Amino acid sequence: MSSNGKPKIAFFDFTSCEGCQLTVIDSLQDHPELLNVVEIVQFREAMTEKGEDYQIAFVEGSCSRASDEPRLKKIRQQAAIVVALGACAHLGGVNALKALHPLDEVRKYVYGDKADWYETYDARPISAVIDVDYAIPGCPIDRNEFISVVKALLLGKKPPIPDYPLCVECKLKGNVCLYTKGQVCLGPVTRAGCGAICPSFGASCEACRGFITNPNDNSMREVLIEAGLTVEDITSIYTMFTTYQVREKIQQKG
Amino acid sequence: MAPLYYSITTEEQNVSLTILSKSAFQEFVARLLPHYRVVGPVPHDIGYSFEEIQDVTELRMEYPTTILPPKKWFLPPKETLFKFTRKNGGVIQDPPETPPTVILGVHTCDLHAIQLLDTVFSSGQYDVHYMGRRKKTLIISIECLSPCDEHSFCKDMGTLTADEGYDLHLTDLGDSYAIDVGTQAGADLLQNYSSSSVATKEEIQKLNAVINAKWPKFSYRLDFDVSELSSIMELSMKSPLWEELGNRCLACASCTNVCPTCFCFDVKDEVELDLVTGQRVRNWDSCQLDDFATVAGGHNFRASRALRQRHRFMRKGKYILDAHKHLGCVGCGRCARACLVNITPVSTFNELYRQQETGSH
Ligand code: SF4
Ligand code: SF4
Ligand code: SF4
Ligand code: SF4
Ligand code: SF4
């Protein structure tokens, strides 16, 4: 707690596009009253001060090199609550896609003849390195969900992140299902909470919010095959944001 | 049973039957607009949706069906029950009142569903929120003259026509509507805002011809009579079908979310950032979701998808009928359209019937 009694919060970024931090700034513009109840001590994207005394840490970005690990562990030591902010931190996100190719090839593709200058390993969610209390899913996060998570944390409650499929929000909006229009969608296995924004604008859900706890993967696969997707297509849609999770599942099955 | 035929002996016997030409109907709706919130079927993407209209040209009275049923105007997907302040011992503020509303173009399957919901929300714990909106709403329904699509089975369920539940009921006669007056409020509405005329003998004959022509266009899709449904369900608790449906089901809840007779909801408090004010909200919930039957302490008494599918169909085919004297399924086919793995009431009910006939469980 700071001397004014407000909990201190801090934002950190790892491998990411910073879109989630920008969404936080957006939501602060919509809800400036948030600053009446918390004190932000560190937020590189928005301020120059750097306080190291914080209770809640919001971490954006995946961990994509060994040298990120001590920094993450330091944050974990300091913060009472660590929240993964967005798909990169929550899932590994698009960064984890590189795991689908040999690391040497990826390094050459990205850094060319300077490949050896850069340290890198398979991108992973921060939960692969430190204990994470909560995650705000999405690529980018939903600004209203960010506010509702902060509210819940201040009230000492568990953040209200849904654990049901996206189809629920999509149907409640009265959308025509993308499958009816000959498109495909991962809504039935994806965690809701974004308000089904992609299907509402005619775009397939690619599970940027990660999977629900009990997805029916076999049935989802059948639906995608029925819709005309090849095995390669299915791998490609299933791994857009969730390569790390899909690989974990395959490893668990042995 | 609904009046399959209108008597043409004397005009006095048909005082409730009036005629409105299509252009007079347009004028009627236009005259309602300044006084009522008018809701009706409008195009939405490649489908249709019940929305508030500003102009009569938005209406599509000949729509096949909608994605969500008109239920959402009585039981919105999300509503604020009241707002509260945790100061001065607590202050509660009621939500704003619903404006007087006319819902146009309700099909008879949905009309039957609304009658069930009226029973549910007015018996036991009287629901002031649902009933508040319901009482302020007039329903102008319309007879379906051909099947909305291959998924409907309203004829089996006895919902292909209705003899009550509406204020006014329209039948399309081509260039006019025959209007059956269901309530005094409906009669007043016609009287005050339209220039309808009492049906002539010829118009009644035309109406009977239209109704006659309609029934053969609908086929029966259940392999048994609907009066047997409840007992078929009763004997199906141990059917192996539930496991099979559970393996296929995605637990996506699309089937219940589009259903005109589903009414499960969840109530939550949402607190504002000042941590003092907030609101109590009610959201649609679904028995198909993983944590629907999770109770305090974390136990889930319907953890498997198979048990949840069984519960859903038991409600549709038996429990609701037992409790409320209306069938829990009106045969609208919306769930069948919405389900990505083709779990449908028709195939489920027929398979349970077949299993019993062949003694296969
Ligand atoms: S989750 Fe998406 S928006 Fe957020 S930082 Fe990662 S890539 Fe950017
Ligand atoms: S569009 Fe996607 S999210 Fe929406 S109902 Fe269809 S599968 Fe579900
Ligand atoms: S169960 Fe299906 S067919 Fe029956 S009323 Fe509900 S949505 Fe319509
Ligand atoms: S199910 Fe029957 S009553 Fe309902 S809209 Fe379709 S045709 Fe009309
Ligand atoms: S729509 Fe189909 S897949 Fe989804 S919950 Fe209902 S039965 Fe299961």
With a pLDDT cut of 70, the percent of chain A lying above it is 97
Output the CA torsion sign for B94, B95, B99, B101: negative
User: By residue range, what is the domain housing residue A119?
Assistant: 8-154
For the CA of B316, the closest atom of ligand 3 is 1
Of A105, A130, A154, the position where a domain reaches its end is A154
Which residues in B173-312 belong to E strands, given as ranges?
Answer: 176-181, 197-198, 265-271, 277-284
Task: From chain B, pick out residues whose CB is under 8 angstroms from the CB of A167.
Answer: 250, 252-254, 257
User: By residue range, what is the domain housing residue B304?
Assistant: 226-358
Residue B293 pLDDT level (bands cut at 50, 70, 90): low
Kindly report the number of other CB atoms within 10 A of residue B309's CB atom.
Answer: 26
Give the count of domains, chain B: 2
DSSP, collapsed to helix, strand or coil, labels residue B157 as helix
Task: From chain A, pick out residues whose CB is under 8 angstroms from the CB of B290.
Answer: 163-164, 212-214
Residue B230 has what pLDDT?
95
Candidates B224, B233, B250, B223; CA nearest to B315 is B233
Could you tell me which residues come within 8 angstroms of residue B87 by beta carbon, excluding any fewer than 6 positions away? B276
How far apart are alpha carbons B241 and B228 in whole angstroms? Answer: 19
Q: Which is it for strands A81-85 and B47-52: parallel, antiparallel or unpaired?
A: unpaired
B200 shares a domain with B231: no
Element holding B41 (H helix, E strand):
strand B37-44
Residue A206 pLDDT level (bands cut at 50, 70, 90): very high
B195 shares a domain with B129: yes
How far apart are alpha carbons B222 and B347 in whole angstroms? Answer: 8
For chain B, say whether A187 makes contact (Cβ under 8 Å).
yes
Residue B37 lies in a domain: yes
Kindly report the number of other CB atoms within 10 A of residue A10's CB atom.
Answer: 23
How far apart are alpha carbons B142 and B65 in whole angstroms? Answer: 12
Task: From chain B, pick out residues whose CB is under 8 angstroms from the CB of A153.
Answer: none
Residue B299 pLDDT level (bands cut at 50, 70, 90): low
Output the CA torsion sign for A53, A55, A56, A59: positive
Of A132, A154, A176, the position where a domain reaches its end is A154
How far apart are alpha carbons A69 and A119 in whole angstroms? Answer: 13
Residue B295 has what pLDDT?
54
For chain B, say whether A225 makes contact (Cβ under 8 Å).
no
Report whether residue A220 contacts ligand 2, using a CB cutoff of 6 Å. no
Write out the DSSP string of B279-304. Answer: EEEEEE--TTSTTTTB-TTS-BTT-S
Least confident of A103-112, A147-156, A196-205: A103-112
Nearest neighbour of B253 by CB, restricted to A155, A163, A164: A164
Residue B10 has what pLDDT?
42
Residue B57 has what pLDDT?
96
B250 and A216 within 8 Å at the Cβ level: the answer is yes
Ligand 1 centroid to A230 CA: how many Å? 28
Helix residue ranges per DSSP H, A112-242: 143-154, 166-172, 197-200, 217-226, 231-238
Q: Which residue has the tokens 């909470």?
A: A193
Mean pLDDT of A193-222: 95
B75 shares a domain with B156: yes
B48 shares a domain with B157: yes
Report whether residue B327 contacts ligand 3, using a CB cutoff of 6 Å. no
A148 shares a domain with A51: yes
Write out the DSSP string of A82-97. Answer: EEEESHHHHH-GGGGG
A205 shares a domain with A107: no
Residue type, A150: V
**What is the value of pTM for the model shown?**
0.91
Residue B13 has what pLDDT?
47
Q: Which residue has the tokens 């309609």?
A: B214
Minimum CA distance residue for ligand 5 atom 8: B249
Task: From chain B, pick out residues whose CB is under 8 angstroms from the CB of A213.
Answer: 290
Tokens found for residue A91? 């899932």
Residue B305 has what pLDDT?
92
Residue A253 has what pLDDT?
77
Least confident of A97-111, B91-105, B170-184, B217-231: A97-111
CA A168 to chain B, closest CA, distance in angstroms equals 6
Residue A2 lies in a domain: no
* B120-145 pLDDT per residue, tens: 999 988 999 999 999 999 999 999 99
Residue B91 pLDDT level (bands cut at 50, 70, 90): confident
Tokens found for residue A32? 């400036």
For chain A, say whether B321 makes contact (Cβ under 8 Å).
no
* A163-200 pLDDT per residue, tens: 999 999 999 999 999 999 999 999 999 999 999 999 99
Ligand 3 centroid to B261 CA: how many Å? 7
Residue A1 has what pLDDT?
57
How far apart are alpha carbons B117 and B265 in whole angstroms? Answer: 13
Of B161, B182, B217, the position where a domain reaches its end is B217
* B9-51 pLDDT per residue, tens: 444 444 568 999 999 999 999 999 999 999 999 999 999 999 9
How far apart are alpha carbons B302 and B306 in whole angstroms? Answer: 9
Kindly report the number of other CB atoms within 10 A of residue B316's CB atom.
Answer: 25
Q: Which residue has the tokens 């319901």?
A: B134
A51 shares a domain with A172: no
Q: Which of A170, A172, A200, A204 should be substituted to probe chain B, the one whose Cβ sees the most B Cβ atoms within 10 Å?
A: A172
DSSP class of residue A127? G
Residue type, A152: A
Residue A157 pLDDT level (bands cut at 50, 70, 90): confident
B319 shares a domain with B209: no
A203 shares a domain with A142: no
* B319-349 pLDDT per residue, tens: 888 888 888 999 999 999 999 999 999 999 9
| Contact between residue B321 and residue B230 where contact means Cβ atoms under 8 Å apart | yes
Could you tell me which residues come within 8 angstroms of residue B347 by beta carbon, excluding any fewer than 6 positions away? none
Which residues in chain A belong to E strands, given as ranges?
Answer: 8-13, 39-43, 56-60, 81-85, 134-136
The CATH number of the domain where A142 resides is what? 3.40.50.700
Residue B7 lies in a domain: no
B192 shares a domain with B323: no
B212 shares a domain with B300: no
| Contact between residue B41 and residue B65 where contact means Cβ atoms under 8 Å apart | no
* A63-81 pLDDT per residue, tens: 999 999 999 999 999 999 9
Residue A1 lies in a domain: no
Could you tell me which residues come within 8 angstroms of residue A51 by beta carbon, excluding any fewer than 6 positions away? A8, A10, A41, A42
Residue B273 lies in a domain: yes
The alpha carbon torsion through B158, B161, B165, B167 (nearest 10 deg) reads 180
Considering every ligand atom, which ligand is closest to the CA of B331?
3
Residue A247 pLDDT level (bands cut at 50, 70, 90): confident
A131 shares a domain with A19: yes
Residue A45 has what pLDDT?
80
Residue B297 pLDDT level (bands cut at 50, 70, 90): low
A176 and B249 within 8 Å at the Cβ level: the answer is no
Residue A120 lies in a domain: yes
In angstroms, what is the C-alpha Rg of chain B? Answer: 22
For chain B, say whether A38 makes contact (Cβ under 8 Å).
no
B192 shares a domain with B131: yes
Residue B137 lies in a domain: yes
- pLDDT, averaged across chain B: 90
